[in-house]
Homo-oligomer: A and B are copies of this chain.
């Protein structure tokens, strides 16, 4: 099939963007996504992280992100989902807004990597339909890497993903009476 009609794809173009899932009940799901972002920043990539859980994004990474001239954009749902919500309709609306924002940004071609952090929770609460996420992932730009984090990733997502890691809690300091640590937990 070689010939002028069909130029060979460049090596770079032929690499598909991965769908990466960090799930499980342990620490490190968001932190490993942050590590992926850090590595990708070194390549000059532009990265968006959409944060679905209120207050999950920490001062440390906000400060560190400033070193990269806006190439790591962080969009926390400041008034978004909380565990003890009194207003599920408002939470559903905020989850939908965050999803639409992230989806459109991902489709804009502006980013090499988009991280939907803790997105599984809003799926678990039915604030966002799993099928909407799957549909987006199936039609995403082929070069775009998408990272999705959170406990209890739905099976459809695991089936579609390229790389799935379960972070399992073996031992947690809170269980041993150790307080939250600056730089580690917040």
Contacts and interface: CB of A to CB of B under 8 A. Distances in A.
A61 interface: yes
Given A27-B165, A28-B28, A183 B113 contact: yes
A167 interface: yes
Interface in A2-43: 12, 15-16, 18, 20-24, 26-28, 30-43
| A contacts with B: majority SS | mixed
Interface residues of A, number: 61
Interface of A: 12, 15-16, 18, 20-24, 26-28, 30-43, 45, 58-65, 67-68, 112-113, 145, 158, 161-173, 176, 178-179, 181-184
Rank and list the top 4 A-B pairs by shortest CB-CB distance, nearest first: A42-B63, A42-B60, A34-B35, A31-B35
